[in-house]
C-alpha cells in the first residue's frame, strides 16, 4: 500500500491510500483524484488511466514505482468474515484496522458528484477507519475483498467498501495506454 497525494486545481489537496493490482498500476477512489491534475503515489508522479465517478474508483499508472500486486478473492465475503483494512489514516503512517464483514447492502446511490442515481451494492464493514483510508484494500487472508469507499456518519465503526466484482470490471475497462480526465473537483 502506498500514499496517494492529489493537488493542483481544487483549492485543496487530498491524501489517501492506493494499492497495486499490476505492474505500475494501482487503485484508489475517484473522489481522491477528482479534478486534480497532479497525482503522486509514494512521491512518484502518477497518471489516471481510468476514472469512474459512478463507482468511485480510479486506476493509476505509476511508471516510476512498482510493488507486488495484490490478488482478489474469488467469492463474496459472508457476514462474520474477518478482515483487515490497511492504509494511511489521518495522513499518518501505514496501519491496519481489524474488523469483520457485516454483510452487503443494495439500494439507490449517487455518483461522487451527487448527480446520477443508480442501483448500488456495497459491503458493510465493522471496522474503525478515518480520512486517509479511502482507497484502502479490505483484506481477507491477504487477498483483496473490497476497496474502502466511505465511513458511516452515524455509526462510528461502520464503513462501506466497493465489492471486488466492481473493481475487476473497472480494471477490465482500463485502456492499455492514455490518460483519463479526472473531471470536476469533488467537494464533500
Give residue 136's pLDDT.
96
pLDDT along the chain (188 residues), means of 10: 85 90 94 93 94 96 89 94 94 92 93 91 95 94 96 91 96 95 83
Specify whether 111 is located in the same domain as 157. yes
Beta-bridge mates of residue 170? none
Give residue 187's pLDDT.
67
Specify whether 65 is located in the same domain as 94. no
The angle formed by the CA atoms of residues 137, 11 and 34, to the nearest 5 degrees, is: 40
pTM of the model: 0.93
Domain that holds residue 13: 2-69+169-173
Specify whether 160 is located in the same domain as 111. yes
Give the CATH number of the domain where residue 144 resides: 2.40.10.10
Residue 100, classified by CB atoms within 10 Å of its CB into exposed (0-12), middle (13-18) or buried (19+), is middle
Task: Classify residue 135: in a domain, yes or no.
Answer: yes
Based on the structure, what is the number of domains in the chain?
2
Specify whether 99 is located in the same domain as 156. yes
- The CB density around residue 117, as the number of other CB atoms within 10 Å, is 10
Amino acid at each position: 500500500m502506498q500514499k496517494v497525494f492529489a493537488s493542483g486545481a481544487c483549492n485543496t489537496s487530498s491524501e489517501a491510500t492506493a494499492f497495486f493490482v499490476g505492474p505500475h498500476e494501482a487503485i484508489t477512489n475517484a473522489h481522491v483524484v477528482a479534478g486534480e491534475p497532479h497525482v503522486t503515489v509514494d512521491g512518484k508522479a502518477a497518471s489516471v488511466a481510468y476514472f469512474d465517478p459512478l463507482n468511485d474508483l480510479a486506476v493509476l499508472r505509476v511508471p516510476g514505482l512498482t510493488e507486488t500486486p495484490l490478488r482478489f478473492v474469488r467469492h463474496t465475503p459472508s457476514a462474520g468474515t474477518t478482515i483487515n483494512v490497511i492504509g494511511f489514516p489521518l495522513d499518518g503512517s501505514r496501519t491496519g484496522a481489524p474488523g469483520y464483514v457485516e454483510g452487503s447492502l443494495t439500494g439507490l446511490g449517487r455518483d461522487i458528484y451527487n448527480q446520477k442515481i443508480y442501483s448500488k451494492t456495497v459491503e458493510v464493514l465493522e471496522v474503525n477507519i478515518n480520512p486517509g483510508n479511502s482507497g484502502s484494500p479490505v483484506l481477507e487472508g491477504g487477498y483483496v475483498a473490497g476497496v474502502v469507499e466511505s465511513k458511516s456518519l452515524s455509526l462510528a465503526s461502520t464503513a462501506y467498501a466497493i465489492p471486488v466484482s466492481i473493481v475487476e470490471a473497472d480494471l477490465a475497462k482500463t485502456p492499455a495506454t492514455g490518460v483519463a480526465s479526472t473531471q470536476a473537483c469533488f467537494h464533500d
